[in-house]
Amino acid sequence: MSQVQYTYGIGDRNAADYDVIIRFVDRDDLKAEGAEWIHPQLDEAVRQHAARGLFKGEPNETLVLPTLGLVPASHAVYVGVSHKADTVDSLRDASAAAAKAASKLKAVAIQQLLPDAATLGSSTYTPEQAAQAMTEGYALSLYKRNALKKEKAKQTVQAVAFIPGAAASEQAAAGWATGIRRGSVFANAVNYARDLTNQPGNKLYPEQLAMDIEDTFAVYDDIEVEVLDEFTAKEQGMGGLLGVGQGSAHPPRMIVIHYRGNEDEKETWGLIGKGITFDTGGISLKRAPGMEEMISDMGGAAAVIGTMRILAELKPAINVVAVIPSAENMPSDRAFKPGDVLTMMNGTTVEVVNTDAEGRLVLADGLTTAIRRGATKLIDVATLTGAVLVSLGDLATGAIGNDDQLLQKVILASKQAGERVWPLPNYPEFRRQLDSDAADLKNKGANYGAASIAGLFIGAFAEERPWLHLDIAGTAWLERARGWEPKGGTGVMVRTLAELFLREQND
């Protein structure tokens, strides 16, 4: 993963050590006579393009002009924004558009001229928040998938300099330094989660995922990793995890990541991520078309790992126990079958009516594992159902839980991160769909309302603690790039969860 250096300073627009100069332009400004952005002659060329309808200044629209020696940079990029929708989202999106345009130009060094609001703050954001959003916009958009090819895709951009206007203050500089660091930490963690999600199933299986996590967190003194193998899982009665994983040659793992940032705090967050490294559906086999995308069925685990990386870097004063139940769901002579009854870690019996509803089984044991390690509030993240795609497409993460206050906190954090979260209904009629004649529960109800029903199965193991389920089946993997989100693994929910935890330390 290429590391780009992000800096903030007054700078020299006439310095010769950058390739592209970028400025955001509001469409209303295009009508103003004598407005100055980069250089009088270049700015006049922009107005001429606008007059001919070739550049309208619409949000995230870009216009690339060769500078012909008027400034040292070889190209100038104008990016449309709207002052009327001046938010951190608009800054992040515009920065993403700028990054893509500069990347196409094979730029090595970029100079981004800042709007005054980003430097001084506005009614909707502080300079620190502007800095974080713009750094994220660049860093998330410049991500290149770590494909296993003979020739690796190269990221040419090495440096981005954010250049404020003349009115910038020392206080703004301090805010920008903090925001750039936070944005870099957030984006690097998201890109790490993307790399994990994009790993092929023959390279990433439960044992390998456990080893990767141990290696990742070995450099942090305040992080402890605990790995439970299949033998320990059996001793502790993890029937859900073992049942799902028994059909594979790769045995399952229950992975626990401990972070204690406040020894005096009694509350401990439990963060549980579905870690199915590949899902064939088991005996209830999936259709062949599109099955290759099931490498992304550990997107919830990737989100949890990315979030824990941010906590390890920024060290908020909270306590989190992260749990990743990891298995490979395969058909074989040993695989669990429809009609089997599993005994879960907390003693609940579950009738298996569909082996492709496996994520909720491992998550149930994941919740119990977190609770037994002191978790008082629970959030699980999972690529759980195709049904959430029917409801929300690939535009929003579905959420269902038993605590409205927790739900609203997550939604507020998601808005700051620019990741949509939408509540799913928690009706008692949905919960009754899980009643079984053969056991305490069954692992699947009707197809209608299936996203809610699946989430409520997990909630049955929350043991009356505040709990929220995030279904990222539609948002963890994209068929085509969109804004600052790439094709393939997106690393969704990493920044939302990190925003939530960083806010919690201040409450």
CA nearest neighbour of 161 among 212, 106, 98: 98
The catalytic position among 286, 415, 420, 465 is 286
**Beta-strand pair 159-163/5-8:** parallel
Residue 88: both structure tokens together: 């951190």
DSSP assignment of 446-498 equals -STTHHHHHHHHHHTTSTTS-EEEEE-TTTSEESS-BTTBPSEE--TTHHHHH
**Residues contacting residue 376 through CB under 8 Å, at least 6 positions apart:** 266, 267, 268, 269, 270, 465, 466
Concerning whether 360 is annotated as a catalytic residue, the answer is yes
Type and span of the H or E element at 309: helix 299-314
Among residues 360, 409, 442, 444, which one is catalytic? 360
226 DSSP β-pair partners: 256
DSSP string, 159-205: EEEEE--TT--HHHHHHHHHHHHHHHHHHHHHHHHHHHHHS-TTT--
Give the C-alpha distances (Å, rounded to integers) separating 355 from 176, 245, 330, 397: 50, 11, 10, 24
Q: Does 19 show up as a binding residue in the annotation? A: no
- Tell me how far CA of residue 183 lies from CA of 48, 131, 190, in angstroms: 36, 7, 11
Where are the alpha helices (H) located in 199-281, listed in sequence order? 206-217, 230-235, 239-245
Residue 297 marked as a ligand binder = yes
56 marked as binding residue: no
CA-based nearest residue to 212, from 229, 199, 231:
199
Neighbours of 69 (CB within 10 A): 7
User: Is the separation of the CB atoms in 333 and 420 below 8 Å?
Assistant: no
Question: CA–CA separation, 358 vs 252, rounded Å?
Answer: 13
Measured distance CA(429)–CA(445) in Å, rounded:
11
Q: Is 149 annotated as ligand-binding?
A: no
Q: 9 is written with which tokens? A: 């300073």
* Residue 347 parent element (H or E): none
For residue 59, what are its two tokens?
Answer: 């949000």
Q: What angle do CA 176, 129, 63 make, to 5 degrees?
A: 85
Strands 341-343, 349-351: pairing kind: antiparallel
Residues 6+ apart with CB under 8 A from 7: 159, 160, 161, 162, 180
Can 415 be counted among the known catalytic residues?
no
Helix axes 494-504, 299-314, angle to 10 degrees: 40
Q: Is 365 annotated as a binding residue?
A: no
Q: Which residues are annotated as a binding site for Mn(2+)?
A: 274, 279, 297, 356, 358
Q: Which residues are annotated as a binding site?
A: 274, 279, 297, 356, 358
Q: Which residues are catalytic?
A: 286, 360
